[in-house]
Amino acid sequence: MLDHVREALFNILFDKIEGARVLDAFAGTGLLGLESLSRGAKDVVFVERDRTTAGLLKALLEAWKLAGNGRVIVGDYFTVEAQLIRSGPFDLVFIDPPYREMVVERALRFLMENQLVSPRGIVVVKHHPKNAPSIPRGWSAVDVRRYGDTVLTFFGPPGEMKGKND
C-alpha cells in the first residue's frame, strides 16, 4: 500500500485503533499491522503464506519488542481457519491481497461465516476500482475512499463510521 494511502487510512481509523484486536489477513511485510501496533492496538495477528516473509516479520516483531503483541501465522489465509477462530474475534481487519488474486469476496465470506469480526468491528478492503467487492449480508459499506487506482472500502455494522470526514 502506498505511503499516502496508508497515512490516509490511519487518519480515518484514528479512533478505532486504540486497544483494538487487529487481523492483518494478507500481511506481506506487515506494515498495516505494525502501524496499528504503533498507534495503540492491543494485539495484531498477521497471516502470511510466504515462509521467508513471515520469518522476517517475526524477527522484526522480536527486534522491536512487540512479539508479545503480535503473532504471525504462517499459511494461506483460507487454510488457517482453526488458528484464526482461536485468535478472534477482531475489532479491525485489513484485507489487502495482491490485485492479481481475486479473493476479496471469498475472504469476506470467510470472516463472516466464522464470526471473526466483533459486533462493532470494521473490515478494510483494498481493491482496484473495477473490482469492488459485494457487501456482506448484515453489513454495509460504511465508507469508500479512492486514491488513483486504489480503493479502500470500509465494511461494518450500518452507521458504525457515520460522521467521519477525512
Residue 165: the pLDDT is 43
* CB hemisphere CA count around 35 (13 angstroms): 20
List the alpha helices (DSSP H) in 39-90.
51-63, 81-87
List the alpha helices (DSSP H) in the chain.
3-12, 14-17, 31-38, 51-63, 81-87, 104-113
Query: What is the torsional sign of CA 29, 40, 138, 116?
Result: positive
* CA-atom Rg of the chain in angstroms: 15
Cell of 112: 463472516
Domains and CATH numbers, the chain: 3-156 (3.40.50.150)
Which residues is 146 bridged to in the sheet?
151
Residue 5: the pLDDT is 92
As a whole number of angstroms, the longest Cα–Cα distance in the chain is 41
Residue 33: the pLDDT is 95
* CB hemisphere CA count around 99 (13 angstroms): 11
Residue 146: the pLDDT is 94
Q: What is the pTM of this model?
A: 0.90
Task: Reduce the DSSP state of residue 26 to 3 states and report it.
Answer: coil
The ranges of the chain with pLDDT < 50 are: 162-166
Distance CA 100, CA 66 (A): 31
Is residue 25 within 8 Å of 50, Cβ to Cβ? Answer: no
Residue 45: the pLDDT is 97
Residue with cell 502506498: 2
